[in-house]
Amino acid sequence: MAMITVRVSDSEKEWLQYMADFYGITLSDLVKKYSMEQLEDEYDKQVAQVAYKRYQESGKETYSMAEVFRKFGGIDDDL
């Protein structure tokens, strides 16, 4: 297993340790869990932006749910 060293101030380490204790996990697991989650979220956001831009550039037409309901016979006044 690989090891990564992260340097933090004494007060940052104290706060991180407090949070690890609060969640009942090790300090290593806390940093790994929350850094990975945030990076995964950011990656998903960027991939979605690229996909949306490509979709917009494709010229495909979109329809609202209200339009779909009207076209196929089920009208929903809440839409």
Q: Give me 25's structure tokens.
A: 């996990």
Query: Which tens digit of pLDDT belongs to each residue from 21-47?
Result: 999 999 999 999 999 999 999 999 999
pTM recorded for the entire structure:
0.62
Alpha helices (runs of H) in the chain, residue ranges in sequence order: 10-23, 27-58, 65-71
Q: Give me 55's structure tokens.
A: 């979709």
Whole-angstrom distance, CA of residue 78 vs CA of residue 69: 11
The residue with greater pLDDT, 24 or 78, is: 24
- What does pLDDT average to over the chain? 91
| Residue 76 Cα distances to 70, 73, 79, angstroms | 8, 10, 6
pLDDT of residue 48: 96
- Mean of pLDDT values over 49-74: 89
| Residue 2 Cα distances to 5, 43, angstroms | 10, 22
Find how far residue 8's CA is from the centre of its chain: 25
pLDDT of residue 71: 87
Q: Where are the domains of the chain?
A: 10-71
The structure tokens 């690890």 sit at 20
